[in-house]
């Protein structure tokens, strides 16, 4: 298992457990709004899979129902201002490729904040397409092992349509085509697998191995600063940091 996968797992745990300054609810509400907009205004989660994923994530964080409903109304133009999804690309410390997904009602402000972090952190903010080609759009399903052997889970997942499977210390990560995420997830649930999360992700095709502790710390701090911005939804990076440097 790569250090990148371990870091993704840490982030997932933090995302559910850490609700700081109301920021998590803001990010989740923005994700709901964007999901409705990108789904052509469809506010029914049964007909809009991205919206269903956003609502499931909101429920995991115990976000109030009225917050979710408000976010849907915002997407329909019934409440609040305009919100758009913006993608930023560039290189961080250690020449690590970075893709940032943001949802903002003020693109100029968000761009300035992200550019500032890149410049101060030793990175370079690039143009559209500058690093996106280094990633694949995938569906990612995290499964609890629950006494099942990794081989058993892997064989079942592949049989149900998964493209790839990767083991972590606490879970098994199942990768699918983006359009196949819901189908594979439902089949896994139907076979009594415990799904921890299901999300659309950007998976690095290749990774940059970071073995220097100082550089590893610098990269992690850089990513955390980006994730700490209110407008940032997700940050993807292609680093591979040994697990021992991620501990603690």
Q: How confident is the model at residue 23 (pLDDT cuts 50, 70, 90)?
A: low
Better-scored residue on pLDDT, 14 or 153: 153
Q: How confident is the model at residue 247 (pLDDT cuts 50, 70, 90)?
A: low
Question: Residue 52: CA atoms inside 13 Å, Cβ hemisphere, count?
Answer: 12
Q: Could you give the angle at which helices 107-120 and 213-227 cross, rounded to 10 degrees? A: 170
Average pLDDT over every residue of 67-82: 80
Better-scored residue on pLDDT, 89 or 6: 89
Q: Report residue 26: phi and psi, to 5°.
A: -65, -45
Neighbouring CB atoms inside 10 A of 151's CB total 10
What is the tens place of the pLDDT at every residue in 118-160?
999 999 999 999 999 999 999 999 998 887 888 888 899 999 9
Q: Which domains does the chain have, with CATH numbers?
A: 3-75 (1.10.10.200), 84-133+206-246 (3.30.70.980), 135-204 (3.30.70.980)
Residue 8 is predicted with a pLDDT of 64
Q: How confident is the model at residue 162 (pLDDT cuts 50, 70, 90)?
A: very high
Q: How confident is the model at residue 179 (pLDDT cuts 50, 70, 90)?
A: very high
Q: pTM for this one?
A: 0.85
Residue 81 is predicted with a pLDDT of 62
Average pLDDT over every residue of 164-171: 83
Neighbouring CB atoms inside 10 A of 196's CB total 17
Residue 90 is predicted with a pLDDT of 97
Structure-derived torsion over alpha carbons of residues 63, 69, 71, 75, reported in degrees to the nearest 10: 160
């Amino acid at each position: 298992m790569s250090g990148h996968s371990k870091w993704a797992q840490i982030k997932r745990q933090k995302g559910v457990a850490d609700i700081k300054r109301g920021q998590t609810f803001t990010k989740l509400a923005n994700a709901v709004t964007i999901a409705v907009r990108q789904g052509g205004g469809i506010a029914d989660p049964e007909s809009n899979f991205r919206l269903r994923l956003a609502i499931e994530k909101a429920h995991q964080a115990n976000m109030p129902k009225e917050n979710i409903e408000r976010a849907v109304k915002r997407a329909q133009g019934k409440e609040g201002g305009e919100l758009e999804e913006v993608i930023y690309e560039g290189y961080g410390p250690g020449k690590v490729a970075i893709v940032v997904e943001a949802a903002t009602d003020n693109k100029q402000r968000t761009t300035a904040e992200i550019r500032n972090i890149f410049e101060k952190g030793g990175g370079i903010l690039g143009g559209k397409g500058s690093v996106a080609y280094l990633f694949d759009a995938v569906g990612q399903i995290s499964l609890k092992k629950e006494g099942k052997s990794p081989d058993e889970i892997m064989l079942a997942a592949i049989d149900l349509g998964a493209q790839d499977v990767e083991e972590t210390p606490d879970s098994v990560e199942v990768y699918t085509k983006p359009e196949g995420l819901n189908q594979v997830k439902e089949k896994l649930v139907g076979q009594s697998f415990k799904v921890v999360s299901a999300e659309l992700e950007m998976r690095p095709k290749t990774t940059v191995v970071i073995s220097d502790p100082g550089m590893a710390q610098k990269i992690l701090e850089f990513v955390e600063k980006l994730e700490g911005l209110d407008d940032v939804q997700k940050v993807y990076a292609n680093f591979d940091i040994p697990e021992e440097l991620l501990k603690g």
